[in-house]
Amino acid sequence: MKIQKNIQSLKTSATLAINELSQQLISEGKEVYKFGLGQSPFPVPKLIVNELKEHAHQKDYLNVSGLYALRREVAKYHTRKNQYSYDPQNVIIGPGSKELIFQIQMALDCDLLLPSPSWVSYEPQAQMIHKKVHWIESNAESNWHLSPKSLDIACEKLKSVSKLLILNSPNNPSGTTHDDLKEFAKVAKKHNVTIIADEIYAELDFSGDYKSLTHFYPENTIISSGLSKWCGAGGWRLGTLTFPKELSYIKDSIRAIASETYTAVSAPIQFAAIKAYSEDHSVFLNHSRLILNAIADFVYQELSSVGISCQKPQGGFYMICDFSNILNISRKVNDDKILCQTILNEVGFAMLPGSDFGLEKGKLLSRIAFVDFNGEDALRLISKDESSIDNLNQICPRIVKGVSLLKEWINNQ
């Protein structure tokens, strides 16, 4: 039996592959500093865990769209955060936002627009269903975000094409936020671009503000979110899509696809998730942001000090690093994959090449995820004394050690 050509070239998702490789190396007795997979280091809040325990007996298939009580809370949450009125009937609960984004791509007859860089799975998902992808370049000067002008130029070239754009902020892989949303919305509206606002990191904006394109262009924007990042519940696999009433017809198609694929998300997890959306988690979130911001600043300052070019993250737990100005050409490190493999072999520092996110191989760019620390211990220390954030050797010793070893390696080049 032959594999379809568009599937044959796919490989395991880069973020998952680096995690599996890191675990394999660790099992072989090697020291690995895990800056590859972007998994939240923080625990799921106890209130939500307890709710899961209390509903472990729930065994029935639930509504394809999701438990109504949960959809009601998700609609309330996004109505408040996104400054637009959302109806529970226009919310879909799915097994992670990754699956839901794929289903939108499957449902819509359109081309996909992607900023370069973008998260690793957007393009392979399009490839699976023969969807045409148009990359639109950004750069360090634009804070690794798509500018309104670049979007306008790309859309002018694609006037006769239905267009879907995925916009992620705070951004994976850069950790930066999209600050020009009002002007961006004007361009999107001008060209009637449908947008998936991937807001999975929105609650981890270090400013504490919830920034969204829906504040300016709600009528043609689908919100993708879930529990994996702010709530630390990646393995629970619960994602959400929230549609404006203008796009409810897309919701109907997603619901139909869901009914023929995953049926419904695990019942106990849906019951527990009600607490995630209905309770006040501000202390948990404030402390999480405080810790991540301090670590981001440390990593940025340390790596910048040895000539790595990078932008300070503004949210989440990622950063793009440019090694092109510091590596000795005689080492023949001439693309980003060789760069990352060399540093993993010689330092034990695991990170991902920028080309996995749509950047050019030859530019020696990488993405790091600064999550190799015990989030539960860090939160406990901060809750007792917020000044303990100044002691990163105690908060995140493996990050401090990993960055120190990478700096040492660079200084020896």
Per domain, the residue ranges of the chain are 5-43+282-411, 47-278
pLDDT at 326: 84
Enumerate the H helices of 228-387 as residue ranges.
248-260, 267-278, 282-304, 336-347, 375-384
pLDDT at 30: 85
pLDDT at 22: 78
Q: At what angle do helices 267-278 and 46-54 cross, to 10 degrees?
A: 150
Reduce the DSSP state of residue 394 to 3 states and report it: helix
pLDDT at 125: 96
Element (H, E) at 321: strand 318-322
Both tokens of 413, joined, read 């080049």
pLDDT at 352: 93
Assigned CATH for 5-43+282-411: 3.90.1150.10
- Class level of CATH domain 47-278: alpha beta
Contacts of 240 (CB under 8 A, 6+ apart): 66, 74, 91, 92, 93, 94, 97, 100, 223, 224, 225, 226
Q: Which residue has the tokens 């094409």?
A: 161
pLDDT at 5: 76
Backbone angles phi, psi at 136, to 5 degrees: -120, 120
Find, among 193, 204, 138, 205, the residue nearest to 166 by Cα: 193
Reduce the DSSP state of residue 333 to 3 states and report it: coil
Q: Which amino acid is at 371?
A: V
Beta strand 221-226 with 239-242 is: antiparallel
* Residue 31: how many other CB atoms lie within 10 Å: 13
Both tokens of 331, joined, read 């080492």
pLDDT at 412: 87
pLDDT at 313: 97
Reduce the DSSP state of residue 96 to 3 states and report it: coil
* Residue 105: how many other CB atoms lie within 10 Å: 19
Q: Identify each DSSP E strand in 85-238 by its residue range.
A: 91-94, 111-116, 133-137, 163-168, 194-198, 221-226
Give the bridge partners for 322, in sequence order.
Answer: 309, 365
pLDDT at 37: 83
d(CA 345, CA 350): 9
Q: Give the single-character DSSP code of 4.
A: P
Both tokens of 176, joined, read 């930066």
- Positive or negative: CA dihedral 174, 214, 97, 85: positive
CA distances from 41 to 82, 273, 286 (A): 26, 19, 15
pLDDT at 13: 63
Query: Could you read off the pLDDT of 300-321 as tens digits, one per residue?
Result: 999 999 999 999 999 999 999 9
Q: Which residues of the chain are under the pLDDT cut of 70?
A: 2, 10, 13-16, 328-331
d(CA 233, CA 40): 8
pLDDT at 15: 66
Contacts of 351 (CB under 8 A, 6+ apart): 18, 35, 36, 321, 340, 343, 344, 366, 367, 368, 369
pLDDT at 31: 87
Q: Is the pTM of this model over 0.75?
A: yes
d(CA 168, CA 204): 13
